[in-house]
């Protein structure tokens, strides 16, 4: 209700009061004028009614403003929900497209994996056979690495990139062993006895063992799979070990690096 309504209602109330005052008496005589107290009371009641109506008007106006504010807030929430729903729909569409692409990539990766894994195992077996026939010095170094590669290739958690990298790194390491001269000290079985010797591998060309006292020297015979005496090269092997250990200036030394059959010919010269 607005103020116009309450004002009209108050005017009607005053008019009704006047009509009641002017109504003739039952005996037909003129009605007596209302007493001043009655008029005052009626006026006060009219003022009170107007005050109450104004109070109601103000309360309704306040409640209306609150309702409009609440409606505005709900409308904003509704707009935000519509926007979020639309955005989520776009996200879902994007995720579904990416999932489709990832599924295709995964399928292609599985196909590559099925083709590549047997090849990796085949190459590892080839490397193992190569190491099996290598010099004992290098075989000892590579056996641990081959075991690690085998574990990697059998790992269900490792990716194909990790497996391929590990295998190629091991192959390159095995190749590099053929380019270096490396000395060490180890137990070797010579003439059926285990003894402590100094060993030096000249790449993959030859492996020599020198006794602790430096007087006896042996050369690894690939065909026989054992050390054979090479007494004429004790000095050369000592010098080669000292040079590899950086304890002697690098000079030329004579070592029997050819096939085993040529060793007797070299000694005979």
Sorted by where each begins, the domain ranges of the chain are 114-176, 180-268
Relative to beta strand 193-202, strand 206-211 is antiparallel
Give pLDDT, residue 267: 39
Give pLDDT, residue 224: 87
Q: How far apart are CA 257 and CA 202, in angstroms?
A: 8
Residue 231 has what DSSP assignment?
A: G
For residue 92, give both structure tokens: 């879902």
Give pLDDT, residue 248: 79
Give pLDDT, residue 34: 61
pLDDT lower than 70: segments of the chain: 1-34, 36, 39, 258-269
Residue 99 has what DSSP assignment?
A: H
Element (H, E) at 211: strand 206-211
pTM value is 0.51
Q: How far apart are CA 251 and CA 6, in angstroms?
A: 124
Query: How far from chain centre, in Å, is Cα 58?
Result: 64
For residue 13, give both structure tokens: 């109330």
For residue 21, give both structure tokens: 């005052």
């Amino acid at each position: 209700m607005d103020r116009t309504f309450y004002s009209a209602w108050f005017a009607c109330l005053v008019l009704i009061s006047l009509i009641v005052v002017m109504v003739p008496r039952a005996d037909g005589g003129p009605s007596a004028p209302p007493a001043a107290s009655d008029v005052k009371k009626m006026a006060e009641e009219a003022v009170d009614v107007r005050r109450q109506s104004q109070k109601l008007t103000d309360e309704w106006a306040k409640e209306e403003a609150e309702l409009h504010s609440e409606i505005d807030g709900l409308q904003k929430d509704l707009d935000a929900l519509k926007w979020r729903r639309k955005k989520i729909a776009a996200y879902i569409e994007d995720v579904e497209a990416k999932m489709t692409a990832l599924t295709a990539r995964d399928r292609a990766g599985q196909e590559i994996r099925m083709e590549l894994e047997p090849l990796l195992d085949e190459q590892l077996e080839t490397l193992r056979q190569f190491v099996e026939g290598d010099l004992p010095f290098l075989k000892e170094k590579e056996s641990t690495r081959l075991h690690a590669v085998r574990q990697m290739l059998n790992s269900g958690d490792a990716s194909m990139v990790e497996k391929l990298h590990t295998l190629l790194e091991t192959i390159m390491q095995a190749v590099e062993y053929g380019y270096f001269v490396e000395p060490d000290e180890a137990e070797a079985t010579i003439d059926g006895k285990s003894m402590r010797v100094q060993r030096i591998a000249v790449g993959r060309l030859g492996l020599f063992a020198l006794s602790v006292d430096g007087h006896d020297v042996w050369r690894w015979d690939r065909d026989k799979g054992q050390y054979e005496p090479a007494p004429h090269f004790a000095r050369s092997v000592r010098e080669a070990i000292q040079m590899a250990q950086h304890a002697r200036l690098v000079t030329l030394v004579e070592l029997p690096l050819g096939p085993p059959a040529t060793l007797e010919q070299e000694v005979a010269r």
